[in-house]
């Protein structure tokens, strides 16, 4: 659908895009990602003929874009911008109908076939109730739906998105992205979009194209391109990348300096943290920073706590994703507990799959280990075992463990300070 070869562009002699080459297959959904000033909007403006001339070549549907008339190009490429102001306060239907201009001669009006396309698109984008309303009376999300409809009536095989959701709230963002994905899957539209929200982009895209300082940094399948290393090198930001347990899609989170400076005063104190679901990450980071010898378990692969342990070089016991803790993993966990000076129970959610972690804490108490229980919320809300976990949790508390509510209290307990 799109072939870009050795594409370069400069504003007033200042290079913006540098020797860019990539192909986009038909029916693909591509996200263009990169920091401000990397050339994303310039690329979209070149693909839509807003900017010219340029060096290199752009072919769309096998046709050289530079040789096409404006109307012929508009039959191949439609653009959905961040927002638009039509100047005059037209009705929704009038604005949508403007998208048919490539098919209508200068002195002609819309024919029956054009009106049919407009009506179909208004229905598809759920604008029937707004058709006669004035554009300026609409909300931001409604206006954006009108602009999408205007692009759709152009009936192009390629749709370009220039940050179409950047100023909308989350409900409208998801609604519009769902529309784009349906167009991609059901209507076989090829979509190339610029997005600032990487998480939103990767939920809907097949591939990602990274731009850095006007050059192609990386291009490929989401799973191959969205990596911690790539994002750090392109955006100069540390993140961790994991899989959403519900969708199986990748997501990224900022680490906010997840690898704190390690204290030079390494303490000869071994602390094992009962972890899972991200509940232990702040605790492990604090312990690491203050020089404690830390281990954790049992965590499922792709769990946030596992990612934190890997980043900090903390040994851990892991289990397969979405799997209950096996006897082997439980025994390994107990090995860490036996070798520890203190066991910390993070404020986990407990189900039948990780109930054995709670059993391990009880065994640690019975061994005479120092045990700290971090109690940040009501256990009844974290118990998904019909009371079984809550009962054991309360039994552990009754055995005389120390209950703490903050990282500061953990440090005080480990150093022997405070009550």
In whole angstroms, what is the distance from residue 361 CA to residue 344 CA? 8
Q: What is the largest CA-CA distance in the chain?
A: 91
3-state SS record for 38-95:
CCHHHHHHHHCCCCCCCEEEEEECCEEHHHCCHHHHHCCEEEECCCCCCCCCCEHHHH
Identify the burial level of 209 via C-beta atoms within 10 angstroms of its C-beta, where 0-12 means exposed, 13-18 middle and 19 or more buried: buried
Judge whether residue 245 has pLDDT over 70.
no
Sign for the pseudo-dihedral over CA of 253, 201, 249, 351 = positive
Task: Tell me the CB-side half-sphere exposure of residue 7, using CA atoms within 13 A.
Answer: 31
Q: What is the pLDDT of residues 8-27, one digit of tens each?
A: 999 888 899 999 999 999 99
- What does each C-alpha distance from 13 to 8, 9, 17, 289 come to in angstroms? 11, 9, 12, 49
| Domains of the chain and any CATH numbers | 2-252 (3.40.50.300), 270-415 (3.40.50.850)
pLDDT per position as a tens digit, 64-94: 999 999 889 999 999 988 767 776 778 989 9
Q: Is the pLDDT of residue 30 over 90?
A: yes
Bridge partners for 274 per DSSP = 297, 345
Mean pLDDT on 236-242 = 75
List, in sequence order, every residue forming a beta bridge with 242; answer none if it has no partner: 251
Kindly report the number of other CB atoms within 10 A of residue 5's CB atom. Answer: 13
* Arithmetic mean of pLDDT over the chain: 87
The 3 state secondary structure assigned to 214-253 is: CEEEEEEEHHHHCCHHHHHHHHCCCEEEEECCCCCCEEEE
């Amino acid at each position: 659908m799109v072939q870009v070869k050795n594409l370069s562009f400069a504003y007033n002699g200042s290079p913006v895009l540098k020797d860019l080459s990539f192909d986009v297959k038909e029916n693909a959904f591509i996200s263009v990602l990169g920091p401000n000033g990397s050339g994303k909007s310039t690329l979209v403006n070149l693909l839509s003929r807003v900017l010219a001339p340029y060096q290199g070549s752009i072919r769309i549907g096998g046709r050289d874009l530079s040789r096409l008339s404006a109307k012929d190009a508009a039959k191949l490429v439609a653009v959905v911008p961040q927002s638009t102001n039509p100047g005059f306060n037209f009705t929704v239907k009038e604005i949508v109908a403007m998208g048919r201009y490539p098919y209508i001669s200068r002195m002609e009006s819309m024919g029956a076939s054009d009106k049919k396309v407009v009506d179909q698109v208004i229905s598809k984008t759920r604008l029937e109730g707004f058709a006669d309303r004035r554009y300026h009376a609409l909300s931001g999300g409604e206006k954006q739906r009108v602009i999408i409809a205007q692009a759709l009536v152009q009936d192009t095989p390629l749709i370009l998105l220039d940050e179409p959701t950047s100023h909308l709230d989350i409900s409208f963002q998801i609604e519009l992205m769902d529309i784009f994905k349906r167009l991609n899957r059901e209507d076989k539209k090829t979509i190339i979009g610029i997005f600032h929200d990487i998480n939103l982009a990767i939920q809907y895209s097949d591939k990602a194209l990274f731009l850095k300082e006007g050059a192609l940094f990386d291009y490929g399948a989401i799973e191959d391109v969205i990596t911690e290393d790539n994002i750090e090198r392109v955006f100069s930001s540390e993140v961790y990348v994991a899989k959403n347990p519900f969708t199986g899609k990748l997501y990224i989170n900022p680490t906010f300096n997840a690898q704190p400076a390690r204290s030079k005063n390494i303490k000869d104190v071994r602390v094992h943290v009962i972890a899972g679901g991200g509940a232990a990450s702040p605790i492990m980071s604090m312990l690491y920073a203050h020089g404690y010898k830390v281990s954790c378990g049992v965590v499922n692969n792709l769990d946030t706590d596992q990612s934190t342990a890997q980043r900090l070089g903390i040994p851990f016991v892991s289990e397969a994703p979405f799997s209950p803790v096996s006897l082997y993993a439980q025994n390994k966990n107990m090995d860490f507990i036996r070798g520890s000076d203190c066991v910390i129970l993070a404020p986990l959610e407990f189900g039948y799959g990780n109930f054995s972690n709670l059993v391990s804490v009880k065994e640690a108490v019975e061994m005479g280990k120092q045990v700290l229980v971090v109690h940040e919320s009501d256990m009844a809300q974290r118990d998904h075992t019909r009371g079984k976990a809550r009962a054991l949790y309360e039994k552990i508390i009754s055995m005389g463990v120390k209950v703490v509510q903050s990282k500061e209290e953990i440090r005080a307990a480990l150093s022997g300070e405070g009550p």
